Every structure is written in C-alpha cells, then in structure tokens.
Amino acid sequence: MNGIQLVQQLPGLRRYARVLTGDAWAADDLVQDTLERACVKWQLWVPGSDLRAWLFTLMHNLYLNQRRAAKVALNSVNIDDLEGELQAPPDGSTDPLDLRRCLQRLPADQRAVLLLVTVEDMSYQEATRILAIPLGTVMSRLSRARSRLRELMEGRPPAARPERTRRPRCAG
C-alpha cells in the first residue's frame, strides 16, 4: 500500500491559506477544513495526479464558499471606509505590513491568481486547473491584480489611470 504523505503538504497549504485569508488563525482553520474535506473526498482524487494541486483546489473552493457565506457580514463594513487603513501612504511604501494590507484590498479572485503564480510559483496552466477558470481569465485577473496592487503600494488612487486591458497597448 503506497500511503500518501499529506503532512509534507501542510506548509504549502498553510502558506496559501495565509495569503488567501491574510490571517494566521483563519488560515489554519481553512487548512483544517481542507483536510476534513479531503477525508471524505478521496475518491475524487486520481492517484498519481498532482496531490498539491488537488488540495489547493479543495482549499480554494472552500475559501470561496466561506466567503460567500460570510458575505452578509462582510458587507456590513464598507471597504471604502477602510481605504486609508488598507492603502499605503501617498508617497508609496515597500513596508511588508503595507503590502499585506494592500493585498487584502484586492478582490479575492484576483488575489488568488496573483498568489498562486507568485508565492506558489505555479504555471498559468496549473492556476487554471486549481481555480477552474480559462487561461484568458487567469491572465486578465493576474493583470488586474498586479496593476491594482502596484497602484495601492504607490499610494495612487485607482481612478488616476485608465483600466488596463490585456490588449496590446496603443502607441503614443
């Protein structure tokens, strides 16, 4: 019997959970939920396939479900009221704390793509599988996430520049 090694997946799962939730406690809860889910969903995992990708998918879906469930609660705080708190100072910042805050300012779906691609160093194809979205959507979310995070870290309001598109930019 070739047993699978789940414990060695824990550090990666925790890291992704932390970047998703931005909170150490919430992250460990999310990992816990993911493992519980794996317990009852093993028959859906194809032996020999990428275990990490499968676990990330479970986690991502759980995260989205939990966010949906919490939406009412989240809506009770107007995110724009927190803008000053969540955004870097006007002269820009490289402080990790500001980065953490700005990251939470990104929409969850954009944040997920950005983190899979950078922190987890996954290929765009892996990200499409985990998030169950087409490649074009991965790329457009990545683009929006990078641009928005850059604006936030530079202390620029989003309205200051036009929405980037993935089309080749116009000359001039």
Partner 1 sequence: MDTRPPGAAPIPEDDLHALVDGRLDAQAAEALRLRLAADPEALATVQAWQAQREALRTLHAGTEDLPLPASLVGTARRAERAHARASQWWRWGGIAASLMLAFGMGWFGSGQWAAKHGDRLARAEPARQFARQAAVAYSVFQPEVRHPVEVTALEQQHLVQWLSKRLGKPLKVPVLTAQGYELMGGRLLPGEDGARAQFMYQNNAGQRITLYVGAVKAGGKGDVRETAFRFLDDGPVPAFYWIDQGFGYAISGPLPRPALQELARVVYGQL
CA distance 50 to 71: 32
* Binding status of residue 108 toward partner 1 by CB under 8 A: no
Closest CA to 33 of 5, 65, 75, 78: 65
Site for partner 1 (CB under 8 A): which residue of 103, 112, 130, 131? 103
Among residues 136, 127, 158, the alpha carbon closest in space to that of 52 is found at 127
Binding mask 17-36 for partner 1 (x = CB under 8 A): -xx--------x--xx--xx
- Site membership for partner 1, residue 160 (CB under 8 A): no
- Cα 112 to the chain's mean position, in Å? 2
Residues in region 56-85 near partner 1 by CB under 8 A: none
Residues 136-155 that bind partner 1 (CB under 8 A): 139, 142-143, 146, 149-150, 153
CA distance 128 to 116: 10
Task: Write the Ramachandran bin of 87: left for phi over 0, alpha for psi from -120 to 50, otherwise beta.
Answer: beta
Binding site for partner 1 (CB under 8 A): 1, 3-7, 9-12, 14-15, 18-19, 28, 31-32, 35-36, 38-40, 42-43, 45, 47, 94, 96, 99-100, 103, 114-115, 117-119, 121, 123-124, 139, 142-143, 146, 149-150, 153, 164, 166-172
